[in-house]
Amino acid sequence: MPRLPADTLAARRAEILAAARTAFAKFGFEGATVRELERETGRSRGAIFHHFPDKEALFLALAEQDAANTAEVVSNGGLIAAMRRLPNLDPGWLGVNLEVARRLRTDPTFRADWQRRIDAITRSAQQRLAAGQAAGTVREDLPVATLVTFLRLVYDGLAVHLAAGAPDPDLEAVLDLVEQTVRKDGQR
C-alpha cells in the first residue's frame, strides 16, 4: 500500500494500541506474546512493528495514554474525582496500570521517564488542594504534601484492587470517607 492519509494511519495506530491494551491487560507485558498481539490486533507482525519499533514502544505508548488521561482528570477534578472514575474504566486500562507499576521496579530507564509524569500529576493535585485550603474547603492542619501522598496511596491501592478484579461494594462509602478526611469540615 502506498502513502496513506495521515488520519488513516493514525486510526490504524490507534486500533493496534487498543488491541494491545487488551492483550497487555490480560497477560501482562511479558505474557502478551507477539503472537497474541497479532491475534488480538488482527494484524501481522510486520504491520505491528511497522507502526511501533518494538513491543516496549507499544507498551509505553499505552502507558503514556493512561498517564495523560489521568493527568487531565486530576487537573480538572482532583485525585478523588480520578478515584471515582476508576471503577468505570475499561478493565484493560487498570491492567496496564498494574503492568506499569511492575515495570517501574525493574527498568530504571522507564522509571526515570515515568517519574516526570507522576510528578506532574502530583503537582497538579497539590495546586488543587492548596486552592481548596485557600477557599476553606480543605483542612489546614496538615501540609498539602502529606494530603497528596495520602490520596495517591489510596488511588494506587484502589487501582490495584480494581485491577485484581475485586468488586468492592463499600467503594462509595470508602471514597466518601477519604473525601471527608481531607475536607475541612469532615464530620464524624
Partner DNA sequence: ACTGGCGGGACGTCCCGTTGAT
Partner DNA sequence: ATCAACGGGACGTCCCGCCAGT
Q: Which residues bind DNA (CB under 7 A)?
A: 1-5, 9, 12, 30, 32-36, 43-47, 49-51, 53-56
CB of 7 to DNA, least distance (A): 11
DSSP string, 93-152: HHHHHHHHHHHHHH-HHHHHHHHHHHHHHHHHHHHHHHHHHHHT-B--SS-HHHHHHHHH
9 binds a copy of itself (CB under 8 A): no
161 binds a copy of itself (CB under 8 A): yes
CB of 163 to a copy of itself, least distance (A): 6
Per CB under 8 A, the list member of 111, 113, 134, 137 interacting with a copy of itself is 111
Residue bearing cell 494530603: 147
164 binds a copy of itself (CB under 8 A): yes
Q: Is the dihedral of CA 120, 125, 127, 128 positive or negative?
A: positive
Per CB under 8 A, the list member of 132, 145, 167, 179 interacting with a copy of itself is 145
Residue type, 167: P
All three cell numbers of 7: 488520519
CB of 82 to DNA, least distance (A): 31
Give the helix/strand (H/E) hosting 69: helix 55-85
138, β-bridge pairs? 183
Binding site for a copy of itself (CB under 8 A): 25-28, 30-31, 91-92, 95, 98-99, 101-102, 104-106, 111, 139, 141-143, 145-147, 149-150, 152-161, 163-166, 168, 170-171, 173-174, 177-178, 181, 186, 188
